[in-house]
């Protein structure tokens, strides 16, 4: 692991990777990348690489797990063994189980769960390369994969972290900021601005926390535009298909 940098923000207000404090890392997404999944999305965000796959709605077995009045949503966040510098031990860990739970709760509120009683929707997020912010990256990709699968939703959910370095709040932490910063606050929100996930590592003042929410809202607005553009690209691709008889 690299050493703690002396300064995270230079005299011009730029961060170690050249971003302003309120700027997110470059993000690109591709939809429908897996032919066997009902919906899928590949996301690159900075150096993070995440693949999300959705299966369902389909009948849930064993039947005793079925919910009478809604669909069951299962979400598995997983880091590939090769996704970080040191190999990660395969299989669930305390960290991945916790992330899977809070991330599912972050996007579940927008899914119209009552439409598929007794069924299950399985969502898998595989982190192929990790570089800080993987839980939020996985939520962003999973929501696009859900939409790709045709799951009825009230809207999208977008996620981003705000942190604190050199006494200043910064949007979308990079790896050194995540490792050595004073705070890391991952959040997720719906298109209506309803917050569905807040976690906090480190300390901020109540005023800083309010500002962090505002910064995060702006970051999520930008991410939602990229998510929508990715979804639109699916239909542009369909328009390009020649369906004439000759
Ligand atoms: P997030 O990826 O959501 O920011 P953390 O704050 O827990 O989650 O982790 C920050 C970063 O630390 C990860 O993105 C990853 O690059 C690295 N990391 C997390 N867990 C491990 C691990 N078990 N081994 C090596 N690196 C890890």
User: Is there a domain that residue 77 lies in?
Assistant: yes
Token digits for 92? Answer: 């669930």
Residue nearest to atom 1 of ligand 1 (CA): 133
Cα dihedral across residues 174, 178, 183, 185: positive or negative: positive
Per-residue pLDDT, 240:
72
Residues spanned by the domain of 123 = 27-240
36-73: string of b/e by CB count within 10 Å (b at 16+)?
Answer: ebbbbbbbbbbebbbbbbbbbbeebeeeeebbeebbbb
User: Is there a domain that residue 202 lies in?
Assistant: yes
Q: What angle do CA 43, 83, 96 make, to 5 degrees?
A: 85
Residue indicated by tokens 């309803």? 194
User: Is there a domain that residue 1 lies in?
Assistant: no
User: Is there a domain that residue 15 lies in?
Assistant: no
> Could you report the predicted ipTM of this complex, rounded to two decimals?
0.98
Q: What tens digit of pLDDT does each residue of 190-207 get?
A: 999 999 999 999 999 999
CA of 130 from ligand 1 middle (Å) equals: 7
Q: What tens digit of pLDDT does each residue of 69-124 get?
A: 999 999 999 999 999 999 999 999 999 999 999 999 999 999 999 999 999 999 99
Q: What tens digit of pLDDT does each residue of 129-180 get?
A: 999 999 999 999 999 999 999 999 999 999 999 999 999 999 999 999 999 9
Token digits for 72? Answer: 């069951």
Q: What total number of domains does the chain contain?
A: 1
CA of 66 from ligand 1 middle (Å) equals: 34
Residue nearest to atom 23 of ligand 1 (CA): 88
Distance between CA 246 and CA 58 in Å, rounded?
37
């Amino acid at each position: 692991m690299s050493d703690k940098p002396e300064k995270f923000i230079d005299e011009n207000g730029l961060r170690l990777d050249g971003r302003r404090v309120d700027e997110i890392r470059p993000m690109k997404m591709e939809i429908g990348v897996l032919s066997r999944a009902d919906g899928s999305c590949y996301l690159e965000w900075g150096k993070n690489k995440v693949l999300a796959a959705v299966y369902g709605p389909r009948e849930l077995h064993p039947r005793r797990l079925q919910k009478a009045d809604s669909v069951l949503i299962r979400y598995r966040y997983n880091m590939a063994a090769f996704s970080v510098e040191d190999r990660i031990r395969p299989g669930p860990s305390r960290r991945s189980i916790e992330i899977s739970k809070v991330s599912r709760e972050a996007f579940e509120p927008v899914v119209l769960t009552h439409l598929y009683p007794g069924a299950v929707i399985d969502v898998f997020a595989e982190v192929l390369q990790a570089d800080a912010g993987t839980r939020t990256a996985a939520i962003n990709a999973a929501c696009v994969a859900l939409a790709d699968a045709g799951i009825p939703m009230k809207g999208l959910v977008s996620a981003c972290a705000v942190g604190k370095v050199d006494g200043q709040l910064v949007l979308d932490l990079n790896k050194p900021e995540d490792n050595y910063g004073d705070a890391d606050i991952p959040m997720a929100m719906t298109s209506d601005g309803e917050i569905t996930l807040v976690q906090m590592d480190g300390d901020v003042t109540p005023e800083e926390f309010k500002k962090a929410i505002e910064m995060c809202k702006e970051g999520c607005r930008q991410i939602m535009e990229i998510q929508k553009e990715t979804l639109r690209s699916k239909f542009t691709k369909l328009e390009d298909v020649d369906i004439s008889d000759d």
